[in-house]
Structure 1
């Protein structure tokens, strides 16, 4: 697993010197942290993305990047709720999660694999 693929480490949540430094804000569906303040570890040249325009849930929304431009669309069809697809601005599929026996595929980045192999637990088994 590449270090930069873990959204918790990208957001600045880590366990340094035995002290827990991750945020206490509520998360989105218990999977990703929400920020109340900007972590100190975010570099000046970092890019911020936000989930927006929820169509019922985060499983049907857009991801907004710099200059409030839509970077991705997250789509979960009602006819196939066991699969969520991320599409780019040209409607190309760039990533997919299958929720039954959870697997993840990111085109050109990582082949289909179990989510638990891609996003591992911390040594204390409490956080990613």
Structure 2
């Protein structure tokens, strides 16, 4: 089922190199704290926090049409894409049937997360670092980083304190698994993380 490389889709040039993240400088859309990432290996090696697991399942035929299932098998989101063509929209519905987020697949795709991320280009919301080794993400005035390492893409905090692991994403046989901390969920990051996972595994170029 999975025939595409999410690192290539995401624009990362060398995800196999765990040290490449330290070789570049922040782009214009990124926070000016490159020295923080020297601590990443220590953050990864530390005892991981308790993670809540969600699975993207029932692909039809891809993650652009799927269900997101959480603890106790509860459906948290339905992801629906209107067509495979440019100009189509991917909508994220919560259990109440309300639209939680949307991606519009123009030549320059846009993204919006209800109540948290104003409509903007996906390339701006999840911008590549200058060395193309990770992506930054702004959410409610705070910066985060999606960092690929081996077969896992991890979400870290960015700031004056050492990076903190908030989520990680990996492929499984018939699904994509998102593990996210309770702290991140309480901070409202679940919607944004779900949208980011779909972007990263969409098989489409989003900037």
1:76 aligns with 2:85: no
Q: Distance in 2 between matches of 1:69 and 1:16?
A: 36
Q: Which structure 1 segments of 5+ residues have no match?
A: 1-12, 19-38
Relative contact order: is structure 1 or structure 2 higher (C-alpha 8 Å, sep ≥ 6)? 2
Q: Distance in 1 between matches of 2:123 and 2:133?
A: 13
Q: Which structure 2 segments of 5+ residues have no match?
A: 1-17, 24-43, 136-207
Q: Distance in 2 between matches of 1:17 and 1:110?
A: 28
Deviation at 1:15, TM superposition (A): 5.7
Q: Which is richer in strand?
A: 2
TM-score (norm 1): 0.63
Q: Which is richer in helix?
A: 2
Quick check: 86-95 or 47-56, which moved more? 47-56
Q: Distance in 2 between matches of 1:14 and 1:64?
A: 34
- Between the two proteins, the alignment pairs up a number of residues equal to 96
Aligned to 1:54: 59
1:63 aligns with 2:68: yes
Q: Distance in 1 between matches of 2:19 and 2:78?
A: 29
Deviation at 1:105, TM superposition (A): 0.2
Evaluate the alpha carbon distance shift between residue 15 and residue 79 of structure 1 in structure 2; reply closer, same or farther with a 3 A threshold. closer
Q: Distance in 2 between matches of 1:43 and 1:15?
A: 22
Q: CA RMSD in A?
A: 2.8
TM-score (norm 2): 0.40
